[in-house]
Amino acid sequence: MMTLNDDQRMLQDTVRPLMADDGSIKAQLRHWRDKGCKDGFGHRLWKQFAELGLTGICIPEAAGGLGLGAVEAGVVLEEIGRNLTPSPFLTTAVAAVRALESSGQAERWFPGILTGDTVAALAIDEGRRHGPAGIACHAVRSGNGFALSGVKQFVVHGGSADVLLVAARTGGSAGETDGLTLFAVPRDATGMTVENLSLVDSSKAARLMLDKVEVDADAVVGEVDGGWAPLSRALGAGRAGAAAELVGVASGAAELTFDYLKQRKQFGRLIGEFQALQHRAAHLYGEIEIARAAALKAAQLLDAGDPKAELMVSVAKAKAGRVAALAVQEGVQMHGGIGMTDEHDIGLYMKREAVLGELFGGTTFHTARVAELSGY
Amino acid sequence: MADLDTFRAQTGAWLEANCPAEMRKPMRSEKDACWGGRKWEFQSSAQKQWLEVMAAKGWTVPDWPKNYGGGGLSAAEAKVLKEEMAALGARSPLTSFGISMLGPALLKYGREDQKKRFLNEIARGEIRWCQGYSEPGAGSDLAGLQTKAENKGDHYVVNGQKVWTSYADLADWIFCLVRTSTETKHGGISFLLFDMESPGVKTRPILLISGNSPFCETFFDDVKVPKDQVVGEVNKGWDVAKYLLGHEREMISGMGLGHGSLTLGGSVGEIDDPNLKAEIAAFDVDALAFAAMSERFLDQLKAGDAHPAFPSVMKYAGTELNKRRHELIMAAGGSDALEWDSERSHGGKAPRDWLRTKANSIEGGTSEIQLGIVAKHILRLPGA
C-alpha cells in the first residue's frame, strides 16, 4: 500500500512541528549563515535529533538504533526539506549508516552517531560531475594497511566530519565497478588536507587532497575491491533521501507561493485570481504530487530489497530534481521583485534546490541511468 | 496478511486454470478488448469463454458487492487479483463505460431496483452504455446543456442533440444529462437512462482526423422515457454527473500508464538518435513517476483518503503524458510512421493512434478545465 502506516504517520506528527519550530529557516539556516558558522548547521539541533532517536533511524535495533528504513528516513527528510533545516541527517544518519552497516567499522562509529557526537561524510565525487564508477583516487597496500592518494570534491559536511568514507580504487580501472574499496578515514589521518567551502545555499562541503594518507587494514568498509556494495547501499539510500528532501523543498516553496497568490494585490485584484497564474500553480501542484509518489515508491522498493529499487530510485531523484527546480523557479517568478531579495525566504529554496539537485547525481545523470537500467 | 497470501495463491492457481491461452496475449487492436452488449460480436470463442468464467466469479467488477454481480472483494484482494492477472498477462475480460463510469454512479446514487437490474447486466457484459454529456453548445461549459426533458405526467419527452457520444452507434443504452428546469443552470439538470432503440433516437458517426469514427452525434426527437429511469433526484443530476466525471477522469488518466510494464525506450526498437534517446528517457522518468502516483491514488481512494478533486490531477497528468508518448513514438518511427494504410504499418496504426491521443486532453473535460478545478478545489485560489 502506498500510504503511510500508523507508525510512519506518528513519526511525521513528531518531526513536522520540530522542524517547523526548532528547525525553522529563522532558527537554523539564517541563524548559522549570518553567524558564519564553519559547520553550516547547529550541533544543538543535531543533539535533539539524537534524543529523539533520529540519528539512529537506520541503525539496527540490536546496535541501539530505531532499525527503520528509507520510507521513515524520507518522512524526516521531507520535513527537513520543507524548512531548509541544515543538519547532517542525510549524509550521516542515512547514507553513511547504510555504507557502514554490517561492516567491522559499524561498531566503531555507530555509538557516536547515535549520541549525536559523530558526523560522517561521503567522499565520492572527484570532478564536477557525479559518476562513481569513474573513481580514479587510488589506494595501494602500505605497511599493515593502505595509502590513499587523489582528490575528492563535493564532500558534504567534509569539514565537520569525524570520519570520511572515501571511495578509492584498489584494482580495475576507471569506469569499472569492480576494484573499488571504501575506506573509513578518521579526520586526523595524516596526509589529508580538507578545504572547507561554503556552497550557494550556505551549506558546507569540502575538497579533499589525499597525499598517501595512511590507514589501517581494518579501515576497509566491507571487502577490498568490493567497495561497490557498501557504496551502492549508501548511494541508494542517499539518492532516495535526497529525492524526499527535494519533495520537501518543492512543497515548502510551493506553499509559500500559493499563499502569496492569495495575499498580493495588483490591478485591484488578488494575483491568484489570474488564470495565467492559476493554471501554472495547479500544474506545479500535480507535479509535486507525482514526485512525492515516486520518492515514496523508491523508498518502499529499497526497504523491500526489490530488484527494481535501483531503477525507481533514479526515477525519483530525476523527477524530484526536475519538479523542485520548477517549484523554485515558479516560486521566485510569481513572487516578483520581492522574490529577488535576500530578506524573503523563497530565494533560499532556489539555492537549496541547486545543491540537492546535484547531490548524488543530477537529473541528467539519473535520466541516463533510467535508460541504461531499462536496457536502451 | 496470511489470508491475503492464501487468496493470492488460490487466485493465481484459478487464473492459471481458467484463463484461455489466447487471452494471455497482448491486445493488438481495439477489437481485442471485449466491450459486451447486445450488438457485441465475440472475436473468438476464447474471448467469450473468458468473459463467462470471470463474470461467474464476479471478477469483471471484483470490488462491487456480490448481489449486484460483483466479486465482493476487499480493496486489498482486488489489488491482488489485478497483480495476479498482470503477472499472467491476462487481458481484462470486459471493458465498458458501465464498469468505469455508470456503475460507480449507480452504486452511489441509484435506486435499489436500478442497481439490481443495471449493475448485474453491466457485470455480465450484457449491456453496453454510451455517455450523453457534451452538446454542440455545451463543451467545456457542460452545465450549459440545452437538451430538454419535458414532464408529461408518467414519462418525459426528450428533445435535443448530443455530440462526442463515444460508440453511440454500438451502445444499447445511454446515460444522459438533460435539462428538466431552466430556473438555474446547475440546478435544472437531471440524469436520465434510456434505451438507444427508443423511437426518435438517431446516431451519426463523426469522422475524425485519425480517419476513424469512435464518436457520434446523437439526436433525440420526441423520445419517450419512463420517469423511473431518472437516477437520483430530479434537477439534482449535476451531482451525479460530477461524481461520474471523477470516475471518467480516473479512467482516462489510465492512458498515462501506457500498455504493459515496458518503458517507452524499451519498446520502440533501436534509438539511433542521441537527442531523441534523451527525450525518451526523460519521458520514461515522468511515466514511471506517474505510475507511482497512479498506484498511490488508487490506494488512497480505497482507503477513503483521496481528495475529491484529485481525479483532475490524474486526468491532466495522464493525458498530457500519453500525448507526449505518441509524439515520441512518431519521432522514433521517422518516415515509417507516416504511412497511412500500408500493410507494413498495420493500416497506419502509429499515426492514427497518435492523432487519437490529441482528444485525450479534451474529452472528459479539457486540461484547462482540470487545472481550473485543481486551482479552485485543491489550492483554493481566489475567484477560481
Count CB pairs under 8 A between chains A and B.
Answer: 135
Check B381 against A261: CB less than 8 A apart.
yes
pLDDT digits (tens, 9 = 90+) for B2-33: 789 999 999 999 999 999 999 999 887 777 89
Cβ–Cβ contact A140 with B under 8 A: no
Task: Give the residue, B303 or B64, on which the prediction is more confident.
Answer: B64
Over range B179-195, report the average pLDDT: 96
pTM value?
0.94
Q: Is the confidence at residue B304, as pLDDT, over 90?
A: no
Which residue in chain B has the smallest CA separation from A263?
B382
User: What is the nearest CA distance from A83 to chain B, expressed in angstroms?
Assistant: 20
Q: Is the confidence at residue B188, as pLDDT, over 70?
A: yes
Model pLDDT, residue B384: 65
What parts of chain A have a pLDDT lower than 50?
none
pLDDT digits (tens, 9 = 90+) for B322-331: 999 999 999 9
Check A367 against B285: CB less than 8 A apart.
yes
Task: Give the residue, B260 or A174, on which the prediction is more confident.
Answer: A174
Cβ–Cβ contact B318 with A under 8 A: no
Q: Which amino acid is at A277?
A: L
| Element containing residue A185 per DSSP (H, E) | strand A180-186
Check A272 against B384: CB less than 8 A apart.
yes
Model pLDDT, residue B29: 74
User: What is the nearest CA distance from A278 to chain B, expressed in angstroms?
Assistant: 6
- The angle, 0 to 180 degrees and rounded to 10, between the axes of the packed helices A363-373 and A309-335 is 150
Model pLDDT, residue A351: 98
Model pLDDT, residue B258: 78
C-alpha cell at B6: 492464501
Model pLDDT, residue B260: 64
Model pLDDT, residue B303: 86
Which residue in chain A has the smallest CA separation from B383?
A273
Q: Which residues of A touch B368 (CB under 8 A)?
A: 279
Model pLDDT, residue B261: 66
Q: Which residues of A touch B277 (CB under 8 A)?
A: 371, 376
User: What is the nearest CA distance from B305 to chain A, expressed in angstroms?
Assistant: 9
Check B265 against A282: CB less than 8 A apart.
no
Check A376 against B290: CB less than 8 A apart.
no
SS (H, E, C) A200-268: CCCCEEEEEEEEEEEEEHHHEECCCCECHHHHHHHHHHHHHHHHHHHHHHHHHHHHHHHHHHCCCEECC
Of A270, A305, A132, A266, nearest in space to B379 by CA:
A270
Cβ–Cβ contact A318 with B under 8 A: yes
Model pLDDT, residue B194: 98
Model pLDDT, residue B1: 57
Of B202, B206, B204, B207, nearest in space to B219 by CA:
B202
Model pLDDT, residue B94: 97
Model pLDDT, residue B32: 87
Confirm if B80 and B7 have CB atoms less than 8 A apart. yes
Check A2 against B296: CB less than 8 A apart.
yes
pLDDT digits (tens, 9 = 90+) for B174-183: 999 999 999 9
* Mean of pLDDT over chain B: 94
Angstrom distance (rounded) from CA B223 to CA B201 = 7
Model pLDDT, residue B262: 77
Q: What is the total residue count of chain B?
A: 384
- Among B303, B372, B378, the residue with its CB nearest the CB of A285 is B378
| ipTM score | 0.96
Q: Which residues of A touch B281 (CB under 8 A)?
A: 367-368, 370-371, 376
Check A315 against B285: CB less than 8 A apart.
yes
Model pLDDT, residue A102: 87
Confirm if B82 and B10 have CB atoms less than 8 A apart. no
Most A CBs within 10 A among B277, B286, B310, hence the mutation to make, goes to B286
Of A143, A151, A154, A219, nearest in space to A181 by CA:
A219
| Element containing residue B175 per DSSP (H, E) | strand B173-179
Angstrom distance (rounded) from CA B48 to CA B42 = 6
Over range B241-249, report the average pLDDT: 93
Q: Which residues of B touch A318 (CB under 8 A)?
A: 285
Model pLDDT, residue B2: 72
